[in-house]
Amino acid sequence: MSLTNRALWFKDDFLHFIDQTLLPLEEVIVSTDSFLRVNEAIKRLEVRGAPAIGIAGAFALALSQKYPLNSPSLSEAYDILVNSRPTAVNLRWALDRLVKSLGSDKQNNLYERLLAEAGKIHEEDIESCSRIGTHGADLFRGAVNILTHCNAGYLATGGDGTALSVIYQLQKRGMLKKVYADETRPLLQGSRLTAYELHKAGIDFMIQPDSAAAYNMQLGNIDAVITGADRIAANGDSANKIGTYSLAVNAAYHNIPFYIAAPFSTIDLNIADKSGIPVEERDPSELTSVKNIHVTRSDYPVFNPAFDIIPAKLITAIITEKGVYHSPFRFDEPAENN
């Protein structure tokens, strides 16, 4: 994978990432060695997508120890980073893995040791994305139209993506007709980011309003829905960008398969079901204005959850790098490999 299709990379002791809040109209790369700047980027959605958040958080924890004489304690940096986005489990998973990698010695050469482990997480995610794409594409037998929601491509991961990795693999196999990308209100990750990726990849796509998805299913234009996930409970209940639950309900009504594609690290076996998944609520201004232009009164009451939760019974299968899990979901058993 070249740097031209990566959302973030570490080089010369700096983390470099694309500011995704400016896409697709501007391509701006931010370079920083400040863990607080990376933390701010995660909170502001300059870096987003569960796997990418985990990778960025890992590099940020390493950067927090870059200057030993002027660094916060490891636990202080951990606490700051782990609270930047509460729903995506990959962030806590990555931070915990870095701390665990230190063993009992949490004093010596922290920057170098943490950086090495963060690099491993990034490389593993690149391979994970590739495997997810292969396992997902193997589920299909003919050319298909795919509907996706939000962005689950290379902008959201360290590799080719999760849901979009499946789409890229279908394209390579000559099995992809068209991708329908929900705009994904209110921050338009579909019309800004997924469309940006698909356009660069030369894939035939069409943007649609979120509210048009059910009608497009009724018209017979959708063969399958594939989305990513930010956290998956032990029973298969899955949190993803707000609007995904509606897609799953509509897909079930129209007898269209609904797939989740995510790395195994997104599965939180410590949470039994959806009741344990925290759902982040974001600033009302995301709904009352667009690019700082008010579209309604800023004092109107707003309900702005960033995610919703898809019950396991609405999910046809969960595609991971280990293989495909079908309902009823048992993640302690081997996945199917088609």
pLDDT digits (tens, 9 = 90+) for 100-157: 999 999 889 999 999 999 999 999 999 999 999 999 999 999 999 999 999 999 999 9
- Percent of the chain clearing pLDDT 90 (strictly above): 93
Kindly report whether the peptide bond that precedes residue 51 is cis, defined as omega within 30 degrees of 0: no
Summarised one tens digit per residue, pLDDT across range 211-261 is 999 999 999 999 999 999 999 999 999 999 999 999 999 999 999 999 999
Residue-level pLDDT at 1:
37
Residue-level pLDDT at 310:
98
> Is the Cβ–Cβ distance between 334 and 135 less than 8 Å?
no
Could you give the strand order of the β-sheet that contains 144-148, starting from the edge strand earlier in sequence? 205-208, 176-182, 144-148, 224-227, 258-261, 317-320, 323-326
Residue 301, token pair as written in the block: 């009451």
What are the two backbone dihedrals, phi and then psi, of residue 220, each rounded to the nearest 5 degrees? 85, 20
Please give the Cα distance from 108 to 121 (Å, whole number): 21
Q: Can 125 be counted among the known catalytic residues?
A: no
Quick one: which H or E segment has residue 305? none
The residue among 160, 162, 172 whose CA lies nearest residue 5 is: 160
Please give the Cα distance from 32 to 29 (Å, whole number): 10
Summarised one tens digit per residue, pLDDT across range 47-73 is 999 999 999 999 999 999 999 888 899
Residue-level pLDDT at 6:
87
Apex CA 118: angle with CA 14 and CA 154, to 5°? 80
Residue-level pLDDT at 59:
98
Residue-level pLDDT at 338:
55
Which of the residues 160, 182, 210, 230 is marked catalytic? 230
Please give the Cα distance from 306 to 210 (Å, whole number): 15
Q: Is 154 exposed, middle or buried (0-12, 13-18, 19+ CB in 10 A)?
A: buried
CATH superfamily of 3-129: translation initiation factor eif-2b, domain 1 (1.20.120.420)
DSSP three-state, residue 294: strand
The mean of the pLDDT values for the chain is 95
Q: Which residue has the tokens 């995506």?
A: 88
SS3 string, 217-276, reads: HHCCCCCEEEECCCEEECCCCEEEECCHHHHHHHHHHCCCCEEEECCHHHEECCCCCHHH
* Domain residue limits, the chain: 3-129, 141-326
Architecture of the domain spanning 141-326: 3-Layer(aba) Sandwich (3.40)
The residue among 75, 68, 63, 76 whose CA lies nearest residue 17 is: 63
